[in-house]
Chains A and B, each alone.
Chain A
């Protein structure tokens, strides 16, 4: 099953490599990982997406908790939560295609953030599957490059992750 794990850790050099190292050393799979400092600059918040059995995910959260610099760990998939991912896509946009792509971007509520005579750069946020769906709708050969952040997650309502 797909799990989305959120964690708060000390914003210190090497903290990220402890998490990444744990996953590779124990053979856990990482689908995506995002990390950045929080409003409290001494803390970093990380969102990790992994697909594994519940037993393995239980071990993953226990092992993450064991890391000395990890302050809190929560499996967001245990409750209601929201997740978003940001994608930037550069596409070849010429002739009639330009209009077509523009329309598609509007339908997906994306934005064109850079324009040249022959290309568009599109910004799109949403769940991973929405981003996938967008990529499926535009002509494959027009895609020049894509960059995705991986999912960021947060609990709904009063479900709060604080140090």
Chain B
């Protein structure tokens, strides 16, 4: 311990101590010492992306599909500004990341030095926390704190900005075993009295509904949620972020809710008498207009680790602050000790109602169409992968069809940018997923507009031999923009048509991958089978789909849950 290490060595040693196996990054002037240390060891493997946005999305995909913290490394100035979209994406979806950024030397800070940017200032609103390390003595503790803050409480990205001279200076290294911060004590254990109140409401419910969000995934509470739902026999809906938190193929599942949720899920949300919200935040894409939502009377139980999520958009009756998994364990335990059961006759009547709503078959589409229907591609993908693939998506119509038609039975299999809605997320996120799950099947459902926002990563995929399967639902439109223009802007398709598209087959081939173009509905299945047979190749499947297809059901912006537009 008496030998002194440079800041760069300390940085890498800290990553090793944290058990980091992959970091995603792009070198540059301010991080050269750190890259030099990366070069000298082989415990932490570096993945070279082609754009810093992709580094953060890849680290993000890595974190979402595992239970680990994702790590990205970028240089100062443009390195950081490119990373901001990725950081904001992770922040909105509460994904634990540590981003290490280089900074100009401390003596140059504030002097408009080359590649200088106020990183801490620029990222402040889109990180859980950030640090500028001006003193090498603080470096190891700061990195420890960063991992601790990122992964505890409501998770989120934490950025550590390291000036070049700090990475060069030397000091003795000792990695702290733990951190104590007087200003940060996330609560994980739910209040026993509140859990008791919740149990009573649950037992008294006549028209109960369980509404589970991304918090279930983040808290690794899918097992507990599944146990609770099956024990109670209540209907359960998952948010876009919560898909896989409860098995979609279970009879108690009423599918996703929200703007493009199922008729049955939205109607049950609106008309239930007791709502159990678990790791969800009543956001605008989920409950629509909060005024309309509160037109119906219901009691709400809300379990969330973040007190500020509670009573933010909707007033709740029984708030329980705590980690979803811990609270559910306690709640299940308590319910098991109680002799009463929910009113079975009322529950049966409620299910009859829910099944009537379900019978509307709100996700139906023209299966006999001569043009490829995007929904059918997702359904066939589901069948081809037996529901076992990791699915990433970009943002738009294809994202919604993926969420509606791929039935996720397991958590951490559905990887998408829900909060920020970041086009360009899908491909780099899929890379991170593949690194975290080297033996898993990883498919990226995308569209011809989204994929072009990070298409350069096909090069990264080639370098690391990532056998991703890209399912491009190509309708030559920014489909969701076009849909809104059709519904709300008098069919004036302002700048939503994608002209001058590349030949995606040739494009994939030019990067050394396999490209396929599929134009007939009858060819979907064969193409998918063939693609998944190519186990070590990236296959880019360009599906030419119906340009006029819309996502249904749809709740128009500002409308309520029961005001859906149906097919």
Q: Do these two chains really belong together in a complex?
A: yes
Q: A70-B183, A71-B182 are in contact. Are A21 and B125 (CB under 8 A)?
A: yes
Q: Which residues of B contact A (CB under 8 A)?
A: 120-121, 124-125, 128-129, 132, 149, 181-184, 306-308, 310-312
- Asked if B121 contacts A17 (CB within 8 A), the reply is yes
Cβ contact within 8 Å between A163 and B182: yes
- Report the separation of the CA atoms of residues A25 and B123 in the bound assembly, to the nearest whole angstrom: 13
A38 within 8 Å of B (CB atoms): no
User: Quick one: which of A17, A58, A68 has the most chain B CB within 10 A?
Assistant: A68
Q: How far is it, in angstroms, between the C-alpha of A88 and the C-alpha of B128 when the chains are bound?
A: 39
Question: Considering the complex, which residues of chain A in the window 24-55 have a beta carbon less than 8 Å from any beta carbon of chain B?
Answer: 25, 55
Query: In the complex, given contacts A59-B312, A62-B310, what are 17 additional A-B residue pairs having Cβ atoms less than 8 angstroms apart?
Result: A9-B183, A13-B132, A14-B124, A17-B121, A21-B124, A25-B125, A59-B308, A63-B308, A65-B308, A66-B306, A66-B307, A68-B128, A68-B149, A68-B184, A69-B183, A71-B182, A71-B183
In the complex, A65 Cα to B186 Cα: how many Å?
11
A-B contact pairs, 5 of them (CB 8 A): A9-B183, A21-B124, A59-B312, A66-B308, A163-B182
In angstroms, Cα B91 to Cα A66, docked, is 14
- Please give me the 6 A-B residue pairs with the lowest Cβ-Cβ distance, nearest first: A62-B308, A68-B129, A71-B183, A25-B125, A62-B307, A63-B308
A40 smallest CB distance to B (angstroms): 11
The total of chain A residues at the interface (CB under 8 A) is 20
**Known contacts A9-B183, A68-B183: A18-B124 contact under CB 8 Å:** yes
A75 CB to nearest B CB, Å: 14
Once bound together, how far apart are the Cα atoms of A119 and B128, in whole Å? 51
Secondary structure type dominating chain A contacts: helix
In the complex, which residues of chain B have a beta carbon less than 8 angstroms from the beta carbon of A59? 308, 312
B124, A17: Cβ atoms under 8 Å?
yes
Interface residue from B181, B308, B311 paired with A68 (Cβ < 8 Å): B181
Residues of A within 8 A of B182 (CB): 71, 163
- Chain A residue at minimal CB-CB distance from B308: A62
Question: What is the CA–CA distance of A66 and B129 in the complex, to the nearest angstrom?
Answer: 10
Shortest distance in angstroms between A82's beta carbon and chain B's nearest beta carbon? 26
Closest to B310 in A: A62
Q: Which residues of B contact A70 (CB under 8 A)?
A: 183
In angstroms, Cα B463 to Cα A93, docked, is 79
Are A58 and B125 within 8 A (Cβ)?
Answer: no
Contacts of B307 in A (CB 8 A): 62, 65-66
Least CB distance, B355 to chain A, in whole angstroms: 38
**Distance (whole angstroms) from the CB of B217 to the closest CB of chain A:** 21
Query: How many residue pairs between the two chains, A and B, have CB atoms under 8 Å in the bound complex?
Result: 38
Bound Cα distance from A10 to B129, whole angstroms: 13
A interface with B by C-beta (< 8 Å) = 9-10, 13-14, 17-18, 21, 25, 55, 58-59, 62-63, 65-66, 68-71, 163
Residue of B with least CB distance to A14: B120
Which residues on the B side are within 8 Å of A58 (C-beta)?
Answer: 311
* Cα(A97)–Cα(B392), bound, Å: 77
- The residue of chain A having its C-beta at the shortest distance from the C-beta of B306 within the complex is A66
User: Which residues of chain A come closer than 8 Å to B124, judged between CB atoms?
Assistant: 14, 17-18, 21
A161 shortest CB reach to chain B, Å: 14
In the assembled complex, the CB of B166 is this many whole angstroms from the nearest CB of chain A, namely: 15
Q: Which residue of B lies closest to A42 (CB)?
A: B182
| A55 touching B183 in the complex, CB below 8 Å, given contacts A21-B125, A68-B129 | no
Chain B contacts for A14, CB-based, 8 A? 120-121, 124, 132
**Chain A: which residue is nearest B158 at the CB level?**
A68
Docked pose: A63 CA to B183 CA in angstroms: 14
The smallest C-beta distance from B80 to any residue of chain A, in angstroms, reads: 16
- Report the bound CA distance from A89 to B129 in whole Å: 40
Instruction: Using CB atoms, name the residue of chain A closest to B130.
Output: A14
Q: B129 to chain A: which residues have CB within 8 Å? A: 68-69
Shortest B129–chain A CB gap in Å is 4
Within the complex, the shortest CB–CB distance from B259 to chain A, in Å, comes to 23
CA distance A63 to B309 in the complex (A): 9
Q: Which residues of A contact B311 (CB under 8 A)?
A: 55, 58
A55 to B308, CA, bound (A): 11
Q: Once bound together, how far apart are the Cα atoms of A55 and B311, in whole Å?
A: 8
> Which residue of B has the minimal Cβ distance to A163?
B182
Q: Which residue of A lies closest to B125 (CB)?
A: A25
Instruction: List the A residue with the shortest CB-CB distance to B134.
Output: A13
- The CA-CA distance from A71 to B308 in the complex, in Å, is 16
Q: Which residues of B contact A10 (CB under 8 A)?
A: 183
Q: For B181, list chain A residues within 8 Å (CB).
A: 68
- Assembly CA distance A68 to B130 (angstroms): 9
Complex contacts, A69 vs chain B, CB 8 Å: 129, 183
- Distance between Cα atoms of A120 and B124 in the complex (Å): 44
Name the distance in Å between A17's Cβ and chain B's nearest Cβ.
7
Q: Which residue of A lies closest to B154 (CB)?
A: A66
Inter-chain contacts of A163 with B (CB < 8 A)? 182
In the bound assembly, the distance between CA atoms of A18 and B132 in angstroms comes to 14
| Nearest neighbor of A8 in chain B, beta-carbon distance | B183
Q: Which of chain A's residues have a CB closer than 8 A to the CB of B183?
A: 9-10, 68-71
Shortest B326–chain A CB gap in Å is: 19
**CA A10 to CA B120, docked complex, whole Å:** 17
How many angstroms between the C-alpha atoms of A65 and B129 in the bound complex?
13
Most buried by B among A14, A55, A163: A14
CA distance A14 to B121 in the complex (A): 8
In Å, the complex CA distance between A13 and B130 comes to 12
In the complex the two chains form, what is the Cα distance from A70 to B307 in whole Å?
A: 15
- The residue in chain A whose Cβ has the minimal distance to the Cβ of B307 is A62
Closest residue to A62 on the B side, CB-wise?
A: B308
- Minimal beta-carbon separation of B215 from chain A (angstroms): 15
Which residues of chain A are within 8 angstroms of B121 by Cβ–Cβ distance? 14, 17
Docked CA distance A77–B63 (Å): 43
Q: Within the complex, what minimum Cβ distance (angstroms) separates B99 from chain A?
A: 15
A55 proximity list for chain B (CB < 8 A): 311
A residues in contact with B184, CB < 8 Å: 68
Q: Which of B125, B128, B308, B311 has the most CB of A within 10 A?
A: B308
A68 to B159, CA, bound (A): 13
- Inter-chain CA distance A21–B124, complex, in Å, is 8
Q: How far is the CA of A69 from the CA of B121 in the complex (A)?
A: 15
Chain B residues with CB under 8 Å of A9's CB are: 183
Residue numbers in B under 8 Å from A18 (CB-CB): 124
> Nearest residue in B to A26 (C-beta to C-beta)?
B125
